[in-house]
Chain A
Amino acid sequence: MTIEQLEVFALQRAKTAREAIKIMGELAEKYGFRESCYLGEALTVTDPNEAWVFEVFGTGPLWTPESGKPGAVWAAQRVPDDHITCVPNVSRIGEIDPSDTENFMVCENYITTAVELGLYDPNAGKPFIWRNVYGDAEHMSTGSAVRLWRVFSTFAPSHDWKLEDAPNYPFSVKAEKPVSVSDVIAMLRDTYKGTPYDMTEQDPWYYNDPKLGRIKSPLATPQIDPTWRAWLGITYYRPIARYYCSYFFVSQARSWLPNDLGVLWFGLDNPENSPFIPVFVGINDVPESWKHLDRTKVDRDSSWWAFALVDDLTNQYYGYLKVQLDKVLYPFQEEIFAVQPAIEQVALELYKTDPSLARTFLTNYTSSVMIRAEKLYWGLVDKLLYELNNNRPDCGGYLYEKYLELLEKGDVECTICDEK
């Protein structure tokens, strides 16, 4: 069973995070874990009361369904209520205490399988560190390390987190300030601005202008792909927000509200450049354009394409266009945040007398925000295409703000303009 299949069954069968983990663990053991993406998988599993990290690995190529042996190893560790954690494509569970059932759930075979596979020597006198044994976490990539560093140092800034120490970071850390939905959203949008790992600040983006001295190219972008990195010689620090992201969410599970009012702040394509839309758990449907996607052709009836194109186009002249995009994106997002408490208050009122009406209300609300966002972004696609068009009458979008300013003052010449 693949990880996404385990998720489907868990969501269909579980009322709590612990139930979900138990269901997935049992299914994986019984039917065998099949890698769908890349080796082991971690899931963040939460309910209105607690949060767990669930990790699962296969048991090697020799396992068969008929062997009578478990077809997976899995473990889960609870995140303390006042902690945060992050799973950046690397195993995170360390030492396991199976007797501490409040904080750990683990398959019975987690040590024997490792011994059988030659991954762990019980006689070597070393503790069993799950993430090192199964996940090779001591050799985590910089891409994983830098994300761990960013999340931990954002939410627990008083520690002296070092990037190179990332493999030794604790499983989770106490949040120094209570964390809000918008804090987490900001984290998902993050590209390390203001840190040493901001790729837009690396030397190759800078050049000497005869008048301005050393300036940064408006082409500098954190959403740079491997070809460009290789050509420019950019050192890669994998940002949290990526251009190739398909979709993203921040979920909000609250024990004091009816389940239908649980929220998934959901969006499409790159979280850096797309809005987070409140999708309530109790809704009955979403607009057609959010259920339909063909990546093999641009499709104006598919909302994903609007967000994907805005992200791609913005990235063509990031230095010039990102600030402009933010002037559209952030007010839209702020308005959604501002209205949210009122929407929830009303839904709750309706829920008390007529849950089905509350669901209709929430369905219409979520759907209206989706449609507004999608329309907004299709409008942006056209505007960005115009900005990038090099035949536009006002000299083209490649003239970034500073340059335009100097142009107006007559400090630089518009050679392009002369050619018109």
Chain B
Amino acid sequence: MRRIVWSLGIALCVLSLVNIGQELYGLEEKSCTAIIVGKDASVDGSVMTTHTCDGWYDSRLFIIPGGKHEPGETVKVYKNRLNADNPNVVVEVVGEIPQVAETYTYFHIAYPFMNEHQVAIGESTFGGRPELVNPNGMFYIEELEAIALQRAKTAREAIRIMGELAEKYGYADWGECLTVVDPNEGWVFEIVGPGPLWAPDSGKPGAVWVARRVPDDEVFVSANRSRIGEIDLSKPDWYMASPNVYTLAQEMGWYDPNAGKPFRFCDVYAPKESFYNSRREWRVFDLVAPSRHFDPYARWYPFSVKPDRKLSVADLMAINRDYYEGTEFDLTKGMAAGPFGTPDRYATPSKAGANWERAISMFRCSYSFVSQSRNWLPDPIGGVLWFGLDAPHATCYMPLYCGITKVPESLQVMNRFDFSRESAWWAFDFVENWANLAFCYMIQDIKAMQQKFEGEFFAVQPAIEQAALTLYQRDPDLARTFLTNYCNDVVNRVVEAWWKFADELVAKYNDGYIWQKMKGYPDWWLQAVGYTATTRLDLYKDIRYEDENK
């Protein structure tokens, strides 16, 4: 996740001979975590990916229908569409490209995330060398995603489409990592700009990109730094890349093939060392493969690991919700967490080298998801996107099948400057904010709600899918209608329940009480803040003031 204002980008470009990217990362106000689980690493054979969209991004969800198109039709390409809900951002059309004969229906959101063929995409900005960014390019990452979802039936197709478009029309964005999956496999796609010398008429590729497949029995994570190291383009089932992947690095002087060192994409195009990133990489791998005893202070972790046990959707939701509980980095512990152990660490002007510990679950998350793509089911039933609004730890993940034709309006109404009960996002956001009054208590209420609803959704999922399958065999459209009604009912019920829940929390935790009973503060905290200091009698001086009116 990205989008640092341009003036800053240009300033960095001017100073680009020195790699000052690190300072930029100290300012991270945004960013994301994305995970891939291969089909043999999941409990049921699903290929799964995730994304926590950690910053202010457009969390309104739209279903953009596909269709047939006439020759000569074109598609507009935008800039800033991922912030379209921000009244202060201007969404611009930056180009227009030929349309294809047929497009597919997809879920549109800041970072478009799934289409009707179960192709799903997660996202994580890694930045990369600032001098690679070239504003003459047409494409920002979210636009590549949107077009790939409209045109691709498989992850490989999606990658090829995005790579070709970026090469042809130029990539204007910072370095980005996408997790691209389909019902059979998961790929990691990483892309950076073409550098300052590229122009649309230069005849050269307008981007550098590389893709690597995740082994079916392994788990991959991206946490805002490039994760693809060495590549072997002689194995097209495992690696893909733009034709300039080596040459541009040589031209820029970042790689010398004769120096005897292997070519590592991440080191060449996006060198980065920061706990902001490595800690989350460690956390995901340590959670899924504790037997490996990964060191949390390591500089580099493998591209992917085989989990100790196979993973479920619920496991990935738990990872999305993680703030290092039970580790030395646990954000609910210590003075910074306050008396009631909140994991939230708000943004603050950064001093060089300083940052809060960065967990996977963040208060500023706009939305997150866990997707399932399954090759044994028809597409409209096989693809499920478990969608959550606001911070993962306080959200409720709601199943959205990729074959549905509409979503409730409450998912499509959103204004961050106008708190509204018509908007689902505000329900989750409000509860998360309110929880900070007494986090260690309220998170228990929140977990109970999550358990109630998500537990029900998981429990009925096989039945819902069985019903949909029965209907699908007779009439695919009827199956879509059935799933549309189911998903809309789920969202409506959850959102209504969350507003009621919010009201209950307001009353329950009013004025520092719990249902008007004192909860007090923990002793360690009272001592730490000097609670007794002003009430000790030995602080008295032996002075008495007489009443002057006597």
Contacts and interface: CB of A to CB of B under 8 A. Distances in A.
A347 B481 CA distance: 19
Contacts of A341: 470
A112 interface: no
Interface in A234-273: none
29 contacts: A335-B478, A338-B471, A338-B475, A339-B467, A339-B481, A341-B470, A342-B467, A342-B468, A342-B470, A343-B467, A346-B463, A346-B464, A346-B466, A347-B463, A349-B463, A357-B459, A357-B460, A360-B460, A361-B460, A361-B463, A364-B460, A364-B493, A367-B489, A368-B485, A368-B488, A368-B489, A368-B492, A371-B489, A372-B485
B456 interface: yes
B482 interface: yes
Interface string A339-358: 10111011101100010010
Most buried by B among A342, A345, A354, A357: A342
B482 A342 contact: yes
Q: Give the 10 A-B residue pairs with the shortest CB-CB distance, closest first.
A: A368-B489, A342-B467, A346-B463, A346-B467, A342-B470, A342-B471, A350-B463, A361-B460, A339-B482, A357-B459
A338 B467 contact: no
A379 B62 CA distance: 22
A354 B481 CA distance: 26
Contacts of B493: 364, 368
Nearest to A369: B485
A371 B492 CA distance: 10
Interface in A354-390: 354, 357, 360-361, 364, 367-368, 371-372
Contacts of A335: 478, 481
Contacts of B456: 360, 364
A357 B458 CA distance: 11
B167 to A, nearest CB: 47
A124 B35 CA distance: 93
Most buried by A among B463, B468, B488, B489: B463
A354 B455 CA distance: 14
Interface string B476-518: 0010011001101100110000000000000000000000000
Interface string A100-114: 000000000000000
Nearest to A349: B463
Nearest to B478: A338
Given A335-B481, A339-B478, A345-B466, A350 B471 contact: no
A360 B456 CA distance: 8
Contacts of A372: 485, 489
Contacts of A339: 467, 471, 478, 481-482, 485
A75 B126 CA distance: 83
A373 B302 CA distance: 54
A357 B461 CA distance: 11
A331 to B, nearest CB: 10
Contacts, number: 55
Contacts of A343: 467
Contacts of A347: 463
Contacts of B492: 368, 371
Nearest to A342: B467
Contacts of B475: 338
Nearest to A372: B485
Contacts of A367: 489
Nearest to B470: A342
A360 B485 CA distance: 16
A346 B463 CA distance: 5
Contacts of A345: 466-467, 470
Contacts of B488: 368
A354 B456 CA distance: 12
Given A339-B482, A342-B467, 10 more contacts: A335-B481, A338-B475, A342-B470, A345-B466, A347-B463, A349-B466, A350-B463, A360-B459, A361-B463, A368-B493
Contacts of B482: 339, 342
A113 B124 CA distance: 87
Contacts of B471: 338-339, 342
A347 B482 CA distance: 15
A347 B459 CA distance: 12
A215 B358 CA distance: 78
Contacts of B478: 335, 338-339
Contacts of A357: 459-460
Contacts of A342: 466-468, 470-471, 482
A87 to B, nearest CB: 36
A342 to B, nearest CB: 4
Nearest to B474: A338
A25 B546 CA distance: 91
Contacts of A371: 489, 492
A404 B234 CA distance: 71
B218 to A, nearest CB: 33
A361 B463 CA distance: 9
A335 B471 CA distance: 11
A338 B471 CA distance: 8
B280 to A, nearest CB: 36
Interface string B517-549: 000000000000000000000000000000000
A384 B482 CA distance: 28
A398 B464 CA distance: 45
Contacts of B485: 339, 368, 372
A4 B468 CA distance: 40
Nearest to A341: B470
Contacts of B459: 354, 357, 360
Most buried by B among A339, A347, A349, A367: A339
B503 to A, nearest CB: 15
A368 B463 CA distance: 16
Interface string B97-110: 00000000000000
A341 B493 CA distance: 24
Interface in B425-471: 456, 459-460, 462-464, 466-468, 470-471
Interface in A116-160: none
Contacts of A354: 459
A231 B466 CA distance: 58
B208 to A, nearest CB: 49
Contacts of B460: 350, 357, 360-361, 364
Contacts of A368: 485-486, 488-489, 492-493
A347 B478 CA distance: 18
A342 B482 CA distance: 10
Interface in B212-248: none
A336 to B, nearest CB: 10
A201 B232 CA distance: 83
B488 to A, nearest CB: 8
A371 B489 CA distance: 9
Contacts of B468: 342
A367 B492 CA distance: 11
A346 B467 CA distance: 6
A346 B481 CA distance: 17
Nearest to B469: A342
Nearest to B493: A364
Contacts of B463: 346-347, 349-350, 361
A341 to B, nearest CB: 7
A275 to B, nearest CB: 14
Interface in A314-351: 335, 338-339, 341-343, 345-347, 349-350
B158 to A, nearest CB: 32
A347 B464 CA distance: 9
Contacts of A349: 462-463, 466
B407 to A, nearest CB: 14
A357 B457 CA distance: 11
A65 B493 CA distance: 51
